[in-house]
Amino acid sequence: MCGICGIVGLTDKEAAERVIAKMNAAIAHRGPDDEGAFIEAGIALGHRRLSIIDLSKNGHQPMFSADGRFALVYNGELYNFKNLRLELQRSKVGDTNAAYSFRTQSDSEVIIAAYQRWGVDCVKYFNGMFAFAIWDKQKEELFIARDRLGIKPLYYWQNKGIIFASEIRALLKSNLVPKKLDKKGLSDYVAFQTVHGPATIIEDVKMLLPGHYLLIKKSGINIPVKQQKYWSLQDSKVQNPVKPYDQICKDVKELFFASVERRLVADVPFGAFLSGGIDSGLVVAVMSKLMREKVRTFSVTFAESEYSEAPYSEQVAKQYNTEHREIQLSPHDCFFKLPEALAAMDHPSGDGVNTYIVSEATKKAGITMALSGLGSDELFAGYPLFKRLNKLEKLKWVSGFPLVSMPFKILNMVKPSPASNKLLEMAELPNWGLEHTYSVTRETFTHKELERLLKIPMFLDRKLELNREYDILSRISVAELSNYLPDVLLRDTDQMSMAHALEVRVPFLDYTLVEYVLGLPDNVKYPVTPKKLLTDAMKGLLPENITNRKKMGFTFPWNVWMRTELKVFCEGNINSLSDREYFNKKNVQSLWNDFMDGRPDAPWYKVWHLVVLENWIKENKIDA
């Protein structure tokens, strides 16, 4: 796991050296083990290395092909690199491709060899998480690719040339990218606590979408760059043969065990996050089955018992005899760590501070790589929205009838809350199909609330295009895996864990498992009990009091902290944000006052992500 950056089109080599040095320095936290750069006329590549596989100097990057034609900078892990290596070492009868002679044991060199043999199609052979760039000296073109599910980030900016990097802050540190707030991104962020790709919060800075690549010719740098798709959740449906339920469970179990096993390959100490829920518990259970040594586990606990899952994480740790460590937090701990966590945010987010703190403790314990249960809820219908959206989809024939929204208007007047606001907005939609209702479930502010907070026009396109070949639950999963997961959860996980040079691997997001589960019919996945298919497939690995308990979530007690220890910090940022030209000062400050008064329609999360936004704007000196 590393950090990468580069420039195409800057012909002044001395200037390129200075820029790459600044960009590398901006992402030094991602790769404290080594640094490298490759600079020629019109091309510059930078790299910061976090050594995970092949810790020797042979893994230095930029890495070059055996013939010197290709130069690679790479961030990620290729889990099937050993099998690909064997294939690339062979030349088949009638095959014009010569066998590749490897000089290292790294997965990085496998990527170079694969590109040399298969060109842009190499990504179709990869199972892993990655963002990489390969420069072809002969063709004078740059190939940039990102993994299927968007686990690793890649940002770029185009003007007369192209600048790219693992983090936005590296682009900003180049002093070539204007630090201007994007109005569309701003309305998206306020509405959803994030900006959905390919846009970002910075004007003209784009995120390379999951399952996409760029091919940039040095001679054509003024030509608009187009993202090319090589894989998509929408188009990846596997036609699973009709099978008995017990066989489906067996398939899911085998795929998950194989996924975890692939992610245990590392030349550094590793462990797992253990929250006490189903997802992380199953990851730890399977790791324990596959490993000879004890699994090292880490969990966050709170003095406030109503927020703590400590009894459940302790139960799983004892069952599998893990080397367990609890990180107990108090309001003082949070206050002390908050400036560091906010400074680590490459892109503003309403979440992520928890990941920062647990990642720090994990790294301090000598762990360089950890497995996480991320992605399970999106794949196995773990959120309440799956049931709600499923019902609305089946009732969409009711939408549009006169007076259908009247009961929701009355509820909203009698009992105002975020839930009643959303219900009213949904009731007033012209169509209750999933393509229209999904976005409402993930918004922080309704459209009407947004209009009161912002002075700028709304740029929100809330209609999704979803593949109707999928059943309803799978369509919801596709929406979650395409939006909430990459643009919130995965981005937060990457920026907060890599702030401590900690690699996080996510076995529930192995694309072979994802494709299989998406291809299953709703009747085998419907969550009659929490994530029924998953828990049935893994039956016996976790005690029933964990598999059947109500989902608690992994969050800090912000509601308490923001009214006490964090009050001055929050209030100061809200007041500062309200003074900015894009915001309605009176309504922003009214929101803060409503939160402090305990109004049910002004919960902490509606305020916190605005506090974070203002802090991020000031810290990064953004023109807003």
Active site residues: 2
Q: Which residues contact 115 (CB under 8 A, 6 or more apart)?
A: 70, 72, 122, 134, 143
562-580 residues labelled b (16+ CB within 10 A) or e (exposed): beebbeebbbebbeebbeb
Structure-token pair, residue 17: 């050296």
DSSP 454: B
CB count, 10 Å around CB of 308? 20
**Closest among 264, 262, 211, 252 to 481, alpha carbons compared:** 211
DSSP 487: I
Conformational region of residue 311, where left means phi above 0, alpha means psi within -120 to 50, and beta covers everything else? alpha
Find residue 581's DSSP bridge partners. none
CB count, 10 Å around CB of 117? 19
What interhelical angle do 310-319 and 278-290 show, nearest 10? 20
The strand ranges marked E within 51-98 are: 63-64, 70-78
The side-by-side arrangement of strands in the sheet containing 296-302 is 323-329, 296-302, 270-273, 369-371, 503-505
Is 380 buried (19+), middle (13-18) or exposed (0-12) by CB count in 10 A? buried
Specify whether the CB–CB gap between 210 and 511 falls below 8 A: no
Q: Which residues contact 18 (CB under 8 A, 6 or more apart)?
A: none
The Cα 230–Cα 285 span in angstroms is 34
The Cα 192–Cα 458 span in angstroms is 13
Widest distance between CA atoms in the chain? 76
DSSP 295: P
Helix (H, G, I), strand (E, B) or coil at 43: strand
**Closest among 201, 200, 192, 197 to 445, alpha carbons compared:** 192
Q: Which residues contact 581 (CB under 8 A, 6 or more apart)?
A: 455
The strand ranges marked E within 103-235 are: 128-136, 141-146, 155-158, 162-165, 205-207, 212-217, 228-229
Amino acid residing at 347: H
37-61 residues labelled b (16+ CB within 10 A) or e (exposed): bbbeebbbbbbbbbbbbeeeeebbb
